[in-house]
Chain A
Amino acid sequence: MTLSLSLPQQGLRRYTSALSPLAWAAVLVVAVVVAVSVFAPALAPYDPDYVDLNNVLAGPGAQHLLGTDALGRDLLSRLMVGGRTSLLGPTLVVLGSTLLGLLLGLAAGWSDGWAGKVLGRAFDILFAFPALLVSMLAVALFGKGLVAPIIAMTIAYVPYVARLTQGLVVSERARPYVQAYRVLGFRTPWVVLGRVLPNLIPTVGAQSALNFGYVLADLAALSFIGLGVQPPTSDWGAMIEESRGALLGGYVLPAFWPALVVVVVVVAVNVIGEEISDRIGGKLS
């Protein structure tokens, strides 16, 4: 007897109870980065925007743990405060797209006939608009900054969650246990929200964790090309952009730190997402 493993056979608890050491490390990294960002104003040793032209491009030392940038600003402080803008965007996008995607996906998966088909087709069309492109279009329409790109990206990431949810719901509702609920006379909303939805959450959560990494990278890229966060506000992507001049002059550190943080955070959320997805049979893109 071969078991179909396309869906979790059990609840969330099992996924958190036996994480691999690597996944624990990833969770720890994310927790630390989030905590530091939240409390950055209290923790940061310097005002992140304080310009000290007597102390430009200093190496790491007792005064400036990570050194300073081309304007003499403390890199550690900018990094900590920059985490706020850099993480807030992805958080909002992932929350919004997961919620919307779940709702639309459930609706599309559960409705027979044309409604499901129309929604599915709509998701397909949305797929043709990559998130970064949509957010660039949003900037072109509404001006630079993060508000328009965040809204645009939320919409652009909806189909990723919705398509996944729709597929899961369709395969789930064909399963005997869901049919048994119907035959037993349970009401559809109770079955869908109370019984089917919880079974999908680990899979969708894994996808959303992966999405978080993509959004973080995309928003940082947007700031990097000067369309997102505007100077002097600190942001990881913007910090890398500001350091390009110094980089070509041989000063690597001002670009290295924010790049490192971006990569580490993305790796960490990817590891978490993969850990969940591995446990449920690995059906994610």
Chain B
Amino acid sequence: MSQLLNVQDFTLGFAGRDPLLNGISLHVDDGEAVALVGESGSGKSLTTRATLGLLPERSQHSGTVAVRGLNTLTARSAELLGLRRNKASMIFQDPRAGINPVRTVGDFLTETLVRWRGLSRAEALERAVEQLEQVGLRRASELVHQHPHQLSGGMLQRVMIAAALLDSPELLLCDEPTTALDVTTQAGIVKLLRDEQQARGMGMLFITHDLNLASSLCERVYVLRNGRVVEHGSAREVFLAPQEEYTRQLVGATPSIELDRVPAVPVAVEGEEPILSVDSLSKHYELPHGDTLTALDQATFTLPVGGSLGVVGESGSGKSTLARLVVGLETPSEGTLRLGVVDRPDRPLKARERKLLAKDVQIVFQDPYLSLDPRIAVGHAVADVFRLHQKQGRRQAQDSARELLGRVGIGPERFDAKPRALSGGQRQRVALAKALAARPRLLVLDEATSALDVSVQAQVLELVEELRDQLGLTILFVTHDLAVVSRLCSQVLVMHQGRIVEQGPTARILADPGDDYTRNLIGSRPRPLWDRDVITTP
């Protein structure tokens, strides 16, 4: 029997442009889990799709991509259908986008069974229910009649996995299957994938940008960069003793929790008012159908001047709501929020109040593609803030903007650039400069580095640290990522479903969490396969 997946010297591109994939060679054997690790634009998704013969239109390619000896680059469409139906299945990144929203879950699962496995609808549905139960979904017989929007993201990804397994594939392709999910959900999915792969002896090609995740699931790793394989080998070797410079950088930039590197809690100055004190703060939203959603429930904490507080939680934890309340984008429903010496009114802020508040607190948002005005040159955008807040003239404001942009690493040659001409990391630097131009005392970072590649994220975090120390900023860092918090924040506040479940010094909470949810959050972080045997569960 020929090799399960064998890619030889695979090159793909469009006429007149640099190739997107350049001489990629890799292989996956039966029963083996292999990771394909790379940052955005490295070509990892293209490679996986080519395995199923899903090539971009009008692309040119050479080399071979062979599954059990069938070259998908040259195969006839009937052969490709056979391959997709019987040999290889794929699990996609975003299950909410990947399952047809207007059809039922049952329809999604059974459409292949009814079409060419010759099952009746009833038989197919029975098989689907069994499979759903096997991937850990309860009340599967009800689920099959529901539509995707009625299920959570984690449940949907299990549905997607169930659909892939129904075809009993020999090769399972996973394209960042947990990126859209929360970390605790991710842990469950990863375990399921690992168990199924082992039990069925499937070959698995697992694509991810996350080295930690790769090492928790796969024995072998290929590191991809700009369409080339930079390094490959056993996960342990690549992770612990990377040979190539790029891999070393990648490993170094990958966030990890290192307790000895957590910043120390600053010594509170006697009698000094905290910059932010929040007492029993709640925020309710009226939902369209008359229900009330409590996004933030009775939050109480203080943030001393010069401190750095991490707010950690999964989606729906209320952490973003908290950030928006602090910067005045939302109005509190109950409780008090005191910034410096000013109590926040329980009504929308007036223009004058907003301008005053702006000098105290600023925010940087997550999405670098949406957080800058697309029409305004970046230098101009920063200069506008100087003119508003520092009462500077046009000339002076431009000089100040140039200087500040230089400080965040944006050279004067980009002063007149539109945001679209900048990379994600550069945009976040500009967003940072815009916020700092108001000279705030408190800076809120709302998942400000989450959308960036790990190497870019590391640079931006470094910049934030630097600026914090130089400008004496107080930082409120909202994130889902414990590792990022451990690096930047001396104190942490863990949120779950609108409530603060635990708060205190970062080092203490990470080492000795007092709450079950925190413990679950920490325990859900992917752990390398080779560490599993060493660490005994507490």
Touching in the complex, A and B, CB below 8 A? yes
In angstroms, Cα B365 to Cα A176, docked, is 7
Q: Please give me the residue from chain A that is nearest to B41 by CB atom.
A: A1
Is there contact, CB below 8 Å, between A185 and B357? yes
Q: Please give me the residue from chain A that is nearest to B356 by CB atom.
A: A185
The majority secondary structure among interface residues of chain A is loop
Contacts of B370 in A (CB 8 A): 4, 175-177
**Interface residue A195 (Cβ < 8 Å from any Cβ of B):** yes
In angstroms, Cα B40 to Cα A106, docked, is 38
Contacts of B366 in A (CB 8 A): 176
User: Which of B357, B375, B424 is within 8 Å of A11, CB to CB?
Assistant: B375
> From residue A37, how far is it (CB to closest CB) to chain B in Å?
34
Q: Please give me the residue from chain A that is nearest to B452 by CB atom.
A: A1
Is there contact, CB below 8 Å, between B365 and A185? no
Contacts of B372 in A (CB 8 A): 177, 180
Is there contact, CB below 8 Å, between B365 and A199? no
Contacts of A187 in B (CB 8 A): 351, 355
> From residue B54, how far is it (CB to closest CB) to chain A in Å?
17
Is there contact, CB below 8 Å, between B362 and A176? no
Known: A8-B374, A179-B329, A199-B375. A184 touches B388 (CB 8 A): yes
**Interface residue A121 (Cβ < 8 Å from any Cβ of B):** no
Contacts of B388 in A (CB 8 A): 184-186
**Interface residue B354 (Cβ < 8 Å from any Cβ of A):** yes
In addition to A182-B328, A183-B363, 18 A-B residue pairs with Cβ atoms within 8 Å of each other are: A8-B375, A176-B370, A177-B371, A179-B365, A180-B365, A180-B431, A182-B329, A183-B361, A184-B389, A185-B358, A185-B359, A185-B388, A185-B438, A186-B384, A188-B351, A195-B373, A199-B373, A199-B375
**Interface residue A9 (Cβ < 8 Å from any Cβ of B):** yes
Q: Mark B406-439, 1 if CB is under 8 A from A, else 0.
A: 0000000000001110001000000100110010
**Interface residue B376 (Cβ < 8 Å from any Cβ of A):** yes
Contacts of A199 in B (CB 8 A): 373-375
Is there contact, CB below 8 Å, between A183 and B367? no
Known: A10-B375, A184-B434, A195-B376. A3 touches B369 (CB 8 A): yes
**Interface residue A130 (Cβ < 8 Å from any Cβ of B):** no
Is there contact, CB below 8 Å, between B365 and A184? no
Q: List 16 A-B contacts (CB under 8 A).
A: A1-B40, A1-B424, A3-B369, A7-B374, A9-B419, A10-B374, A177-B370, A179-B365, A180-B365, A183-B327, A183-B329, A183-B361, A185-B355, A185-B356, A185-B358, A185-B389
In angstroms, Cα B329 to Cα A177, docked, is 13
> From residue A183, how far is it (CB to closest CB) to chain B in Å?
5
Contacts of A188 in B (CB 8 A): 351
In angstroms, Cα B176 to Cα A1, docked, is 12
Contacts of B354 in A (CB 8 A): 182-183, 185
Q: Mark A1-22, 1 if CB is under 8 A from B, else 0.
A: 1011001111100000000000
Q: Mark A163-178, 1 if CB is under 8 A from B, else 0.
A: 0000000000001110
Known: A1-B40, A1-B451, A176-B367. A198 touches B375 (CB 8 A): yes
Q: Please give me the residue from chain A that is nearest to B358 by CB atom.
A: A185
In angstroms, Cα B388 to Cα A3, docked, is 31
User: Which of A4, A177, A184 is within 8 Å of B362, CB to CB?
Assistant: A184
**Interface residue B140 (Cβ < 8 Å from any Cβ of A):** no
Known: A1-B451, A10-B420, A198-B375. A184 touches B367 (CB 8 A): no
Q: Please give me the residue from chain A that is nearest to B365 by CB atom.
A: A176
Contacts of B40 in A (CB 8 A): 1
In angstroms, Cα B389 to Cα A46, docked, is 66
Is there contact, CB below 8 Å, between A184 and B358? yes
In angstroms, Cα B424 to Cα A195, docked, is 22
Contacts of B367 in A (CB 8 A): 176
In angstroms, Cα B351 to Cα A188, docked, is 8
CB-CB contacts below 8 Å: A25-71 with B: none
In angstroms, Cα B362 to Cα A186, docked, is 13
In angstroms, Cα B374 to Cα A195, docked, is 10
Q: Please give me the residue from chain B that is nearest to A198 by CB atom.
A: B375
In angstroms, Cα B350 to Cα A182, docked, is 11
In angstroms, Cα B372 to Cα A175, docked, is 9
**Interface residue B509 (Cβ < 8 Å from any Cβ of A):** no
Is there contact, CB below 8 Å, between A184 and B385? yes
Contacts of A180 in B (CB 8 A): 363, 365, 371-372, 431, 434-435
In angstroms, Cα B328 to Cα A187, docked, is 14
User: Which of B375, B418, B419, B438 is within 8 Å of A184, CB to CB?
Assistant: B438
In angstroms, Cα B376 to Cα A198, docked, is 10
Q: Please give me the residue from chain B that is nearest to A181 by CB atom.
A: B373
CB-CB contacts below 8 Å: A184-217 with B: 184-188, 195, 198-199
In angstroms, Cα B354 to Cα A180, docked, is 12
Q: Please give me the residue from chain A that is nearest to B372 by CB atom.
A: A177
Contacts of B389 in A (CB 8 A): 184-185
In angstroms, Cα B358 to Cα A187, docked, is 12
Contacts of A183 in B (CB 8 A): 327-329, 354, 358, 361-363
Is there contact, CB below 8 Å, between B355 and A177? no
Interface-central residue, A3, A10, A176, by most chain B CB under 10 Å = A176
> From residue A3, how far is it (CB to closest CB) to chain B in Å?
6
Interface-central residue, A3, A9, A10, A184, by most chain B CB under 10 Å = A184
8 closest cross-chain pairs (CB), A and B: A185-B358, A185-B355, A176-B365, A176-B371, A9-B374, A177-B373, A11-B375, A176-B370
Q: Please give me the residue from chain A that is nearest to B453 by CB atom.
A: A1
> From residue B194, how far is it (CB to closest CB) to chain A in Å?
28
Contacts of B359 in A (CB 8 A): 185
Q: Please give me the residue from chain B that is nearest to A13 by CB atom.
A: B375
Contacts of B418 in A (CB 8 A): 10
Q: Please give me the residue from chain A that is nearest to B327 by CB atom.
A: A183
In angstroms, Cα B370 to Cα A187, docked, is 20
> From residue B247, how far is it (CB to closest CB) to chain A in Å?
23
In angstroms, Cα B418 to Cα A176, docked, is 17
Contacts of B356 in A (CB 8 A): 185
Is there contact, CB below 8 Å, between A9 and B420? yes
